[in-house]
Amino acid sequence: MPMSFAAVALASVAMLGRWEAQTQPQPADWQRVPVQLDALSPPQRLGVRAELLRQNIPVIPQVVVVSDWGSYLRAIAHWSPAGRFPVLFDAGTAESRHDIARFVRAFEPARVVRWNAPDAVDLPRPREARQAVIDKTIRSAWDLDTIDNAPDLLELWAASPAFAPGIIAADAADPAWPAAVALAAGRAQPIVWVQTKGNPNGAFDPDEVELLASAIELGAQSTGMPWRALGDRVDALTICLNCPVKIRHGGDEFLATTDRLGRLADGTRWAWASQIFGTQEDAAYQAMCALFLMPKRALAFDGYPDEGAWRTYGMHGAVDSLRRFGLDVLAPAAAGGRGLVDWRMLGATPLACDLIMVNTKGMRNWFDLSPGRAYSGDVPLLDRPAIIAFIHSFSAIQPGLPATIAGRWFQRGAYAYSGAVHEPYLQAFVPPAILAERLTHAFPWAAAVRHDDGPVWKVAVFGDPLITLGPPAQRMDAPFSLPGAHDVEQRAQEHLASGRSADALWELIIAGADARAAELARAWWKDDPTRITTQVADAALLPAFHQGDALLLMRLFMRLRDAEAIEPWHLDVLWHGARFGAGALAQHDAETLLTVLRQQLRPEQLGADAVEAAEMMQRIGSVHDPVAFLRSVRTDRPQDQRLIDAAVRGMTGRR
C-alpha cells in the first residue's frame, strides 16, 4: 500500500489540532487539505476524502429519536458543519426499537431524547414536492438557510476536495429516501433523482438496469463535476432504492446490480457502488450507523478447512491486520474453532462485534462449517450494528427475506453487507487478508470488497459505500438541546409511576438499559405475574436473552405463545437462548423449555431444529424419548426428512 491509514489519519487529524483545547469546536477550514491526494491510489483517495469530512465535523453525543418524518427532517436540518448528531426513527415496532438500542449501545451517547419538532409538517406525497423539502433540509444542514445570497450547494461543495466524493441515486417516493437525505447532508453529496422498478428480492431484466444506469449517468453529468473515471471527483455511488439487487443473465444466472451500476456501457468502472434498501426506518438506521459508528471489535470466523486452496481465503492474515490497526479481534479458529458448535457458541448471548468476516460455503439459507451445517436461523443476534463480509454463494440472492442468510443479518441489525447473488466462484471474493489490509489503509467499504479488473459479476455490496475505518470523530463537550426534547430515561420513570409498564421497558431498552429492563420484568414475574402482559413480554424478551436468563426468557415466550402473539424473531430469541441456557435450569424447568422448543420448530429449518431439540433432550436426560419425538415430526421437504432420518439412525445405532 502506498500510504498507511495511520499516516492518513495523523495527517487529517492535524486539521483538528486547534480544536483540542476548546469546549466548542470551530468550523474547519475546508480549503486546507493536509494530504497530497494525487499521491494516493483512487480508492485510498476516495477513502481519505470521506475521512477528512467525517473527522472535521464534530459529533454531538446525543441520540435523537423521532416518530414522524417531519421531525426527522427538522432534526437533520439542525445539523451544521460545526456539529451533528444521530437521528433514529421509532416506528412503534419491536424491530425498530431494538435497532435503536443496538445503535445506542455502540454509540454510547451522553443522552438519548425523544423529539417531536414543533414546526414539523407532514411530508408531501408528490415526488417533486418531497424532493423540494429534502433539498431544503440538506441546505439547512449546511447553514445555507441562514446566509444572505448563499451559494448553491454544489457551488459550496465544489470548494473543497473533502466534499462531493460521490452521488446518491434515490427516488423521493421510495422507502429508502431517509438514507438519501442523511448521507447527502452527512457526506456532502448531491442526490440524483431517478425512478425504477421496486422489490429488492426480484430481478432486473438487462434492458431495465441499462435504463437506470443511463439515468444515473445523466444525473452525474448534471452535477458539472468530473465523474467518468476512477480518481476524479465523483467516485462513489450510493443507491438508495428498493430496486432489485440482481440482474438476469443468460439462462438462470444473475449478476449483481451494484456491480453493473457505477460502470460505463463498456464495463469501465467510474464509481464504486453500494445499495441501501428496506423500510424507511431501516434506511435511516443504516445511514446513521455509517455516519456515526466506528468498529471497535471484529469477528473473523474461519468456516473453511485449514488446508489446500482454502488457506488463501483463511482469516489469519486478516486477524493480524485488524489487530495491528487496534481492533479487538475474536478469532475462534486460533483455538481450533471452525465448526457448528463454535459458531453457535458465538450466539449464546448477543454478539458484541461490529465488523464480522466469515468464510463458508453453501446456499441461500444454509452454510457449511468445519464440521457441521448452520442455517439462517443460526445467524447470531447482534448486540450492536455490524458490517458483514460473507464469503459464500447465494447468500444475498433475496436479501429482503429473513429466510436467506443476508436477510437474517439485516434483520439482526447489520448496516452493511457484502455477499453473492449467485454462484460467483471463490476467486470472485477479495481474500480476507487483502480485505483487512484495504480497510485499514483507507479503502472505503465498496472499494475494499471488490475486484476491479473483471467484467460485471455476482458479488453485491450493501450499505453506505463510503464507510471507512479510522479514529473516532471528535465529540463536542458543549451542551446541546432541541426545544421540547424529552429525556428517554426520565420518560421511563414517568411511565413506571403511571403504571405503563411496557412503555417504561421500551424507553429503558431504547436508552441501552437492557439490564434494568430485564430486572424489572423478573421482579414483576415474582411479585405480580399478571403485570407481564403480552406487550411487556414482547418488550422484555430480548433483554432477558441479553442477561442470559433462560428461565425468564421461557416464561415471557410462553406468555406470548398463549396470547398467539409470536413473531418470527421471537422464535430466534427462544432458540438462541435455550441452546446454552437449558443446561443451567432445574430439571423441571429444562423439561418445560424443551417442550416449548419441540412445539416451536422454525418452518424454514424444521429438520435442523427437530434434530437439535432431540440432541438437547439427550443432553439433559429428558424423560421424553428423543427418537419418538423425531419420528413424530411431519415434513414434506425431503431435505428436512433426510436430516431427521440420519439423526434417528445415529441415536438408534442403525444404518
- Is 207 a member of any domain? no
pLDDT tens-digit profile of 341-390? 999 999 999 999 999 999 999 999 999 999 999 999 999 999 999 999 99
> Are 528 and 437 found together in one domain?
no
For CA atoms 7, 12, 15, 18, the dihedral sign is negative
pLDDT of residue 242 exceeding 90: yes
CATH no. for residue 425? 3.40.50
User: How large is the average pLDDT for residues 425-441?
Assistant: 97
Report the amino acid identity of residue 327.
L
pLDDT tens-digit profile of 177-226? 999 999 999 999 999 999 999 999 999 999 999 999 999 999 999 999 99
User: How large is the average pLDDT for residues 482-511?
Assistant: 97
pLDDT of residue 22 exceeding 70: no
> Are 412 and 526 found together in one domain?
no
**Percent of the chain clearing pLDDT 90 (strictly above):** 88
Alpha carbon distance 645, 648 (integer Å): 5
* 307/2: higher pLDDT: 307
- Is 54 a member of any domain? no
- Is 533 a member of any domain? yes
Q: Quick one: which of 355, 379, 354 has its CA closest to 367?
A: 379
> Are 524 and 641 found together in one domain?
yes
pLDDT of residue 655: 53
* Adjacent-strand bridge partners of 269: 263
pLDDT of residue 653: 86
pLDDT of residue 6 exceeding 50: no
> Are 317 and 406 found together in one domain?
yes
Residue length, the chain? 655
> Are 429 and 299 found together in one domain?
yes
pLDDT tens-digit profile of 332-352? 999 999 999 999 999 999 999
> Are 570 and 431 found together in one domain?
no
User: How large is the average pLDDT for residues 459-488?
Assistant: 93
Of the residues 384, 412, 444, which one is the last residue of a structural domain? 444
Strands (E), 442-507: 459-462, 486-487
pLDDT of residue 24 exceeding 70: no
- Is 460 a member of any domain? no
Neighbours of 59 (CB within 10 A): 19
Q: How many CA atoms lie within 13 A of 531 on its CB side?
A: 18
Alpha carbon distance 421, 398 (integer Å): 8
Alpha carbon distance 411, 326 (integer Å): 29
pLDDT tens-digit profile of 531-560? 999 999 999 999 999 999 999 999 999 999
Alpha carbon distance 538, 543 (integer Å): 10
- Is 411 a member of any domain? yes
> Are 535 and 641 found together in one domain?
yes
* C-beta of residue 618 within 8 angstroms of C-beta of residue 647: no
* C-beta of residue 440 within 8 angstroms of C-beta of residue 413: no
pLDDT tens-digit profile of 138-148? 999 999 987 66
**Percent of the chain clearing pLDDT 70 (strictly above):** 94
Alpha carbon distance 185, 404 (integer Å): 33
- Is 418 a member of any domain? yes
Alpha carbon distance 426, 310 (integer Å): 9
> Are 528 and 622 found together in one domain?
yes
Residue ranges making up the domain that contains 420:
292-444
> Are 435 and 526 found together in one domain?
no
pLDDT of residue 14 exceeding 80: no
Of the residues 444, 462, 478, which one is the last residue of a structural domain? 444
> Are 520 and 423 found together in one domain?
no
pLDDT tens-digit profile of 83-116? 999 999 999 999 999 999 999 999 999 999 999 9
Q: How far apart are the first and last CA of the chain?
A: 56
User: How large is the average pLDDT for residues 305-329?
Assistant: 95
* Adjacent-strand bridge partners of 362: 367
- Is 79 a member of any domain? no
pLDDT of residue 326 exceeding 50: yes
Q: How many CA atoms lie within 13 A of 395 on its CB side?
A: 32
> Are 320 and 400 found together in one domain?
yes
pLDDT of residue 149: 65
pLDDT of residue 28: 60
Query: What total of structural domains would you count in the chain?
Result: 2
Of the residues 380, 415, 444, which one is the last residue of a structural domain? 444
How far from 291 is each of 241, 288, 375, 454, 555, CA to CA, in Å? 19, 5, 31, 30, 39
Residues 6+ apart with CB under 8 A from 39: 2, 3
- Is 138 a member of any domain? no
> Are 432 and 307 found together in one domain?
yes
Give me the chain's average pLDDT, please.
93
pLDDT of residue 150 exceeding 70: no
